[in-house]
């Protein structure tokens, strides 16, 4: 998660639940292009590097949204958050898993093995005993945006989804910056770090317990903010 510009401002307009996977992947590529995990997964200097990063993001987001996940985009189209439920109404089948892996391979070509290694690593370390929650898989603000409230609008919309349902939030901090941001939002590290092979990179598993969300002093103020996700009719 990229989080250098995610504070300040007010959530005054509706965010949008989007299925425009091209636009979402474009924002995520801009935000994650030079992060340690992406740089390991798709090394700098690789011909057509941008294509493979965008392809990975597109395939992953499309898979989550088409299997009961949600992608929210900010009113100014400069920030996005993507989550998936801890429990789906229709559990994923083996065939759906294999189709997703095939999509990753097709989208990432020469770096498919590293992309699949990262996905497998995250799956293997996913805590099995957490209370009901959403998995905050991806969250980003496009670098250079002047709207410092971009991420806040998404955070408020997410809060309005999880709070009345008694859900927590699980996520992986992909850098010291993103981990510190999640901790400012109330997340606590759980379990050992997830080590990326043949590197000094580690992901930090974090969880915001639903009880901690309910007790957070800012919740009542944020819940009164007039930001409600609406459904987009634009998709690819």
Stated pTM of the model: 0.87
Helices 94-108 and 112-124, packing angle to 10 deg: 140
Bigger pLDDT: 2 vs 172: 172
Bigger pLDDT: 25 vs 148: 25
The pLDDT of residue 13 is: 57
Residue range 16-225 in CATH 3.40.630.30: yes
Per-domain residue ranges of the chain: 16-225
Q: What is the pLDDT of residues 193-207, one digit of tens each?
A: 999 999 999 999 999
Contacts 24+ apart (CB under 8 A), 62-70: 62/21, 62/103, 63/100, 63/103, 64/137, 65/19, 65/21, 67/92, 67/96, 69/137, 70/17, 70/161, 70/229
The pLDDT of residue 181 is: 85
- In this predicted structure, the answer to whether residue 10 has a pLDDT above a threshold of 50 is no
Q: Over range 70-79, report the average pLDDT.
A: 93
């Amino acid at each position: 998660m990229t989080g250098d510009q995610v504070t300040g401002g007010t959530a005054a307009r509706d965010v949008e639940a989007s299925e425009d996977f091209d636009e979402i992947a474009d924002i995520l590529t801009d935000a994650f292009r030079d992060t340690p995990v992406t740089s390991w997964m798709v090394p700098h200097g690789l011909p057509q590097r941008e294509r493979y990063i965008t392809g990975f993001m597109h395939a992953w987001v499309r898979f989550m949204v088409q299997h009961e996940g949600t992608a929210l985009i900010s009113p100014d189209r400069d920030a996005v958050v993507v989550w998936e439920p801890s429990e789906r109404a229709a559990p994923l089948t083996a065939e759906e898993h294999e189709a997703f892996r095939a999509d990753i391979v097709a989208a990432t070509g020469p770096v498919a093995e590293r992309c699949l290694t990262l996905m497998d690593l995250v799956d293997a370390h996913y805590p099995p005993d957490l209370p009901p929650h959403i998995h905050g898989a991806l969250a980003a603000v496009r670098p250079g945006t002047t709207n410092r409230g971009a991420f806040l609008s998404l955070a408020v919309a997410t809060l309005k989804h999880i709070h009345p349902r008694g859900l927590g939030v699980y996520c992986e901090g992909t850098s010291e910056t993103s981990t510190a941001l999640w901790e400012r939002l109330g997340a606590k590290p759980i379990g050992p770090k997830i080590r990326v092979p043949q590197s000094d990179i580690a992901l930090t598993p974090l969880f915001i317990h639903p009880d901690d969300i309910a007790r957070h002093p800012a919740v009542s103020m944020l819940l009164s903010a007039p930001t409600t996700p609406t459904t987009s009719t634009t998709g690819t």
